[in-house]
Amino acid sequence: MLNIAVLISGSGTNLQTIIDGCKNNEINGKIKIVISNNKEAYGLTRAKNNNIKAVYEKDETKIIELLKKENIDLIVLAGYLKIVTKNFVNEFKNKIINIHPSLIPSFCGKGYYGEIVHQKVLEYGVKITGATVHFVDEGADTGPVIIQKSVIVKDNDTLETLKKRVLHVEHEILKEAVKLFCDKKLKLKGRRVFINE
């Protein structure tokens, strides 16, 4: 069973998906710690409600110490609105994954996070969007893609209706990616990720 850490900044619905996946043994892992750079993040309450160590910490050096102390095998960035440094990536090489609410490489990178992504999707007028789980490298949303799933943009979509449908897909593919990582079924070759069935 792998030790998981989840880094959040907001409500934590993606975190809740992983909590539930561990609880019902779909995920062969244990969430040892939840860390937020936002004191008000509701995700910290979700962690406490499930007896998971919940920490408010903004300093990256202290976050690295916390993660090492917990012998973390997998770090999940789940609505973590801060770009991690080169040093952080190197400390946990190929052990960090992120969920992004678009089909990377579209609508991603610096400045593209949360609702802004859906706003840009609607403004641009694309017909298909979706979500992506990827390994984290030294760039913003540039790491090797693990899983993607598409979402049709409807003519009558608003920011709220689109965000809701994409979030549903986020929960689905994030749980699957964490499950595959914990089952050691992900093989990284260069930029390509292969899933060993």
By CB under 6 A, tell whether 52 contacts ligand GRF.
Answer: no
Nearest to 128 by CA among 148, 152, 93, 111: 152
Which residues between 13 and 42 bind ligand GRF (CB under 6 A)? 13-15
By CB under 6 A, tell whether 102 contacts ligand GRF.
Answer: no
d(CA 133, CA 116) in angstroms, rounded, equals 18
By CB under 6 A, tell whether 10 contacts ligand GRF.
Answer: yes
Active site (annotated) includes residue 168: no
Does the annotation flag 12 for ligand binding? yes
Residues 117, 104 contacting (CB under 8 angstroms): no
Shortest distance in whole angstroms from residue 190 CB to ligand GRF: 26
Token pair listed for 174: 């994030």
Binding pattern to ligand GRF, positions 103-142, x when CB under 6 A?
A: ----------xx----------------------------
**For the stretch 57-84, what's the b/e string if a residue is b when 16 or more beta carbons lie within 10 angstroms of its beta carbon?**
beeeeebbebbeeeebbbbbbbbbeebb
By CB under 6 A, tell whether 101 contacts ligand GRF.
Answer: yes
Binding residues: 12-14, 81-84, 98
